[in-house]
Amino acid sequence: MDEGRPLFIQIAEMVENSIIDGGLAEESQVPSTNELAAFHRINPATAGKGLAKLVADGILYKKRGIGMFVTTGARDALRFRRRDDFADQFIRPLVTEARKLGVTVDELKSMLDNWEEAP
C-alpha cells in the first residue's frame, strides 16, 4: 500500500480501477469487506470504510443480506470523474519536469504529436 494516502481511499480506488477496466462488470457483486481485508492484509474496518465511500458516491449499492453490487452507469461516471483529475495527476508533473529540463510547451506538444506507443 502507498503510504500517506488514507488506506480506505486506496481500497476504494482499487475497486474503481476494476470497474473502469471491466474486471468488475456493472451489476456484478464486489468482494466483501472481509475478503478485501484478508487479500490486502488490512484492517476490516478500513476495507469497510472504502466500500462505504463507494456506496456514498453511488458507485456501489447494497443488497441487504447479500452484499454489494456495481451500479449501472458506474463505469462511465468513473471515467468522467477520472478525466477531471487527469490534468492534475499527469499533465502538471509533466510540465514541471519539462520546465526543469528547459523543454518548452511547444516542444512538448510536438513530442506528443510524434509519440508512437511502443509495440
Q: Which residues of 79-112 are buried (b: 16+ CB within 10 A; e: fewer)?
A: eeeeeeeeeeeeeeeeeeeeeeeeeeeeebeeee
Is 83 among the residues that bind other proteins (CB under 8 A)?
no
Per CB under 8 A, the list member of 21, 85, 106, 116 interacting with other proteins is 85
Query: For residues 86 and 7, what is the distance between their CA atoms, to the nearest angstrom?
Result: 21
Query: For residues 100 and 113, what is the distance between their CA atoms, to the nearest angstrom?
Result: 21
Is 40 among the residues that bind other proteins (CB under 8 A)?
yes
Nearer to other proteins, 40 or 108 (CB): 40
Per CB under 8 A, the list member of 19, 24, 46, 51 interacting with other proteins is 46
Among the candidate windows 14-22, 45-53, 59-67, 109-117, which touches other proteins by CB under 8 A?
45-53
Q: Which residues bind other proteins (CB under 8 A)?
A: 1, 3-9, 33-34, 37-38, 40-46, 49, 52-53, 56, 85, 88-89, 92-93, 96, 100
